[in-house]
Amino acid sequence: MKRHISLLLFVSVILVIVVGSVFHIFSKNNTSDSDVPHSQASSPAGISVVPSSHLDGKAVPSSPMSVHVSDAQALKLYDLALKLYYQRQFPEALKLFNQALAIDPQCYEALNAKGATLAFQGNHEEGLALIQQALDLNPAFVYGHFNQGLANELAGRWDIAIAAYQKALQIDNRDTWSYYGIASIYGRQGNVAKVLEYLEPAINLDPDVREVARAERDFASVQKDPRFQTLVQP
């Protein structure tokens, strides 16, 4: 009798272990997405968003790739030149960009900005070649992709410009002026739906864009549309 009871206890223990193991395996294989830590979740559409600063023209690489570290003195000249560039003092800016590149020919920041400066002066092809050199040195340089869009836009190649702006947004989906660049091209085409599609996120990122858009000549063909007026009103 005791031997029979012992045998029953032994079988019961084995059943508990087996059932417990099966339940653990089943639970592990049916873990929902909500159980995955947020830091491990994929970004929308599988696109890795890279933080960058569009204002100072610098970017953070999207991978541990080797990116040229520009000479400090060259970067000081670049910063001074960039201020002149934003003030549309192109000849003065160009001199300083050239001085930066004389110190460091691989200063991709200066290559990119010099390219944009040349594009504004009407030398689109040489400007684009310099911007491409900058992107060859740092493919994740958001400001480089933006300027590639800008230079092509200045050259009247709108489809290529939009593609370059889109590339900038793939790397950094918070790049305000790439959204604005696309919106301005669609504004010239009179495509109000596309203007709204790209201008709205630009305004959401920087409300000051409303004021810029109200004075933008590229939006002349859509300015009277009530939807545009609602979007850009203070």
Strands 52-53 and 58-59, bridge-based pairing: antiparallel
Q: Supply the pLDDT for residue 65.
A: 60
Q: What is the pLDDT of residues 41-71, one digit of tens each?
A: 222 222 222 233 333 343 434 444 678 899 9
Angle at 181 between CA 176 and CA 184, to 5 degrees: 125
Tokens 């070649």, residue?
129
Q: Does residue 198 register a pLDDT over 70?
A: yes
Q: Does residue 91 register a pLDDT over 80?
A: yes
Helix (H/G/I), strand (E/B), else coil: 188 = helix
129 band by pLDDT with thresholds 50, 70 and 90: very high
- Average pLDDT over the chain, rounded to an integer: 80
What b/e readout covers 130-144, taking b as 16+ CB neighbours within 10 angstroms? bbbbbbebbbbbbbb
Fold of the domain spanning 67-161: 1.25.40
Q: Supply the pLDDT for residue 203.
A: 98
Give the separation between CA 54 and CA 153, rounded to whole angstroms: 18
C-alpha distances out from residue 156 to 124, 138, 189, 230, Å: 10, 26, 12, 29
At 135, the amino acid letter reads: L
Q: What is the pLDDT of residues 75-87, one digit of tens each?
A: 999 999 999 999 9
Question: What are the sequence ranges of the domains in the chain?
Answer: 67-161, 174-234
Q: At what angle do helices 90-103 and 108-120 cross, to 10 degrees?
A: 150
Q: What is the pLDDT of residues 162-184, one digit of tens each?
A: 999 999 999 999 999 999 999 99
Name every residue whose Cβ is closer than 8 Å to that of residue 219 and which is 6 or more positions away in sequence.
183, 184, 187, 195, 213, 228
